[in-house]
Amino acid sequence: MIITNCPGCPYFLDRWQYVIAETEGKCYGVNGEGIPVFTYEEVAGLVMGYDPWDLGLQVHQIAVEPLLDKIGIPYNPETKYLGLNEKDLGKPEIPNNIRCC
């Protein structure tokens, strides 16, 4: 896991792992997973008990579920892509070269 302190860094580090995996076929995490990238505010929210999807972790390019499982953060996979009033936001396409949950 990478923790950053500026808003641009997690976007860059998260998004470009996905781009590199899709264009070059390289993955920098173990087992074909990327390395999750969070801001310190997201990590603080998790340890304070906020729902990961309320924090917006479902919009990360790298799957966060393996890390959430590893550190014992509860989440409901069925509500991952639900917006306000439980509106279905749609599920993104599955990438070819990086493992997603």
What are the sequence ranges of the domains in the chain? 2-86
The tens-digit pLDDT sequence of the chain (101 residues) is 999 998 788 889 998 888 888 888 888 887 778 899 999 999 999 999 999 999 999 988 888 999 999 999 999 999 998 887 888 888 777 666 666 54
CA 18 – CA 96 distance, rounded (Å) = 10
pLDDT of the residue at 97: 62
Among 81, 5, 14, 75, which Cα is nearest to 43's? 5
pLDDT for the residue numbered 83: 81
Residue 64 neighbours by CB under 8 Å, 6+ apart: 36, 52, 57, 58
In three-state secondary structure terms, 90 is: coil
pTM value?
A: 0.82
